[in-house]
Amino acid sequence: MMGKVHHIFFLIILFSTAFHISCAKKNITNNNGLFHHRNNDTIVINQVINLEGNLITLKNKKLLFLNEGLIKNGKIIGENISISAPETKIFENLTLEGDWKIQNAKLEWFLGNDFKNPVKNFSVLNQFVKIKSSILLNKMVSIGLLHEGDYSNEGRDIVIKGVNKENSGLLLTTKNTNQFFSYFRAPSGYNVSLKNLTLMSKDYKDGLTSDNISEYYFSGTYFQNQFNPQAKPSIDSIIIENCNIFGNIAISFNGAHSDNQTINEFGARNKISKILCSKLSF
């Protein structure tokens, strides 16, 4: 139903030296030797490297992508990896695992300029979340799930910031109307840091109103002390700062209804170091 647009946001506490790899676009097998020269912390990738389904492991390395360098068709397990690359595709048909801890990872590294598929966009976003990396958005990106009730259950920190909050952020296209479902959810929770971006629901973008308080659950934690007295979230910080929140979107932390608490009580009881929601526009 068209009408005056509602824009509602809820933070809910409910307890109910460089080594060059130049491969001339050849198919390469046995790549471990190429990636593990002891005296080279920087690996320069300036050609297309085809892993042909092989597994590579990397630790404490910097990957420098030049001249349309790209890695494809395989899996890389990484630990403490930094990446220097333009906003172009550098990964194709590649699975990343481990604790990469990349700073300011870009969705373009997997997507190039193709952001038409919201489900694929979320898959790439989640790929970086799973390897403990922060994400930098330079545009509005539509994200979606395969169906309502679908979700990611990784329990990794969600750290996303935008270049400009007016023009960069996430457009949520799939509704999760049940508070126990969301794009991200985990029994023990995760740290959340959203800065300098816009979160917008598809309904808001389309000018639609809704009688429901929350229909787009972005992230959530669920645990029930009434069934398990030891159940508790493992969260250090919840930070939502300098953001636009447009539409009936919720970031929720859900538990047994008998455990209803204020935000301050929630933070104190669960020893959360920081809960900050500031400079928000609705």
CB proximity list for 221: less than 8 A, separation 6 or greater = 185, 186, 187, 188, 189, 190, 233, 235, 252, 253, 254, 255
Q: Helix/strand/coil (H, E, C) string of 51-113?
A: CCCCEEEEEEEEEEECCCCEEEEEEEEEEEEEEECCCCCCEEEEEEEEECCCCCECCHHHHCC
- pLDDT confidence tier of residue 74, bands split at 50, 70 and 90: very high
Output the pLDDT for position 29: 40
- pLDDT confidence tier of residue 17, bands split at 50, 70 and 90: very low
Residue with tokens 């972005």: 218
With a pLDDT cut of 70, the percent of the chain lying above it is 74
Q: SS3 of 121, please?
A: helix
- CA distance readout (Å), 111 to 31, 87, 115, 133, 160: 24, 10, 7, 17, 17
Output the pLDDT for position 232: 67
Residues 156-169: pLDDT tens digits? 899 999 999 999 99
More confident residue, 145 or 189: 145
Output the pLDDT for position 219: 82
With a pLDDT cut of 90, the percent of the chain lying above it is 49
Residues 109-135: pLDDT tens digits? 999 999 999 999 999 999 999 999 999
How far apart (Å, rounded) are the C-alpha atoms in residues 212 and 191?
27
- pLDDT confidence tier of residue 25, bands split at 50, 70 and 90: very low
- pLDDT confidence tier of residue 224, bands split at 50, 70 and 90: low
Q: Where are the alpha helices (DSSP H) in the chain?
A: 32-35, 108-111, 118-130, 202-205, 263-269
Averaged confidence pLDDT in the chain? 81
What would the two tokens of residue 211 be? 């009688």
Does the predicted TM-score (pTM) go above 0.85? no
- pLDDT confidence tier of residue 10, bands split at 50, 70 and 90: low
pLDDT winner (highest mean) among 5-9, 236-240, 272-276: 236-240
Residues 195-219: pLDDT tens digits? 999 999 999 999 987 776 777 888 8
Longest dimension (CA), the chain: 64
How far apart (Å, rounded) are the C-alpha atoms in residues 212 and 10?
12
Residues 241-273: pLDDT tens digits? 999 999 888 877 655 444 556 677 777 777 788
**Is the model's pLDDT at 32 over the cut of 50?**
no
How far apart (Å, rounded) are the C-alpha atoms in residues 93 and 182?
26
Arithmetic mean of pLDDT, 139-152: 83
**Is the model's pLDDT at 137 over the cut of 80?**
yes
Please name the amino acid found at residue 95.
Answer: T
Arithmetic mean of pLDDT, 217-233: 66
